[in-house]
Amino acid sequence: EVQLVESGGGLIQPGGSLRLSCAASGFTVSNNYMSWVRQAPGKGLEWVSVIYSGGSTYYADSVKGRFTISRDNSKNTLYLQMNSLRAADTAVYYCARDLPVDYWGQGTLVTVSS
């Protein structure tokens, strides 16, 4: 059974850094496209980043230069390193498999506030 379990969210001050993790089971992360999608409270979905099986990465303009997507093949885990966080980054962050997304994690809430 495919499962995606995010962790690492929490309350962080503006300008701070946070790393989200997404532990995958039931499939191999490195063989699939893996994305992060976020949803601000009461708002719609926003695609954030993707890492392809070959390792290429792409980002939304809103996070480019501040966020880094990566994976650890030995741990079958996806990551999102988030630096220079802003209030506008406050959202539930979902880990997602493939494009279009066929499996989603449960989400982890990141709150950027002083």
Partner 1 sequence: DIQLTQSPSFLSASVGDRVTITCRASQGISSYLAWYQQKPGKAPKLLIYAASTLQSGVPSRFSGSGSGTEFTLTISSLQPEDFATYYCQQLNSYPFTFGPGTKVDIK
Can you give the binding site for partner 1, defined by CB under 8 A? 35, 44-47, 50, 58-61, 94, 99-102, 104-107
- Taking the complex as a whole, how short is the minimal distance between the CB of residue 105 and partner 1, in angstroms? 7
Number of Cβ within a 10 Å radius of residue 82: 24
Q: In this complex, which beta carbon is closest to partner 1, that of residue 23 or of residue 60?
A: 60
Q: Which is nearer to partner 1, 79 or 94 (CB)?
A: 94
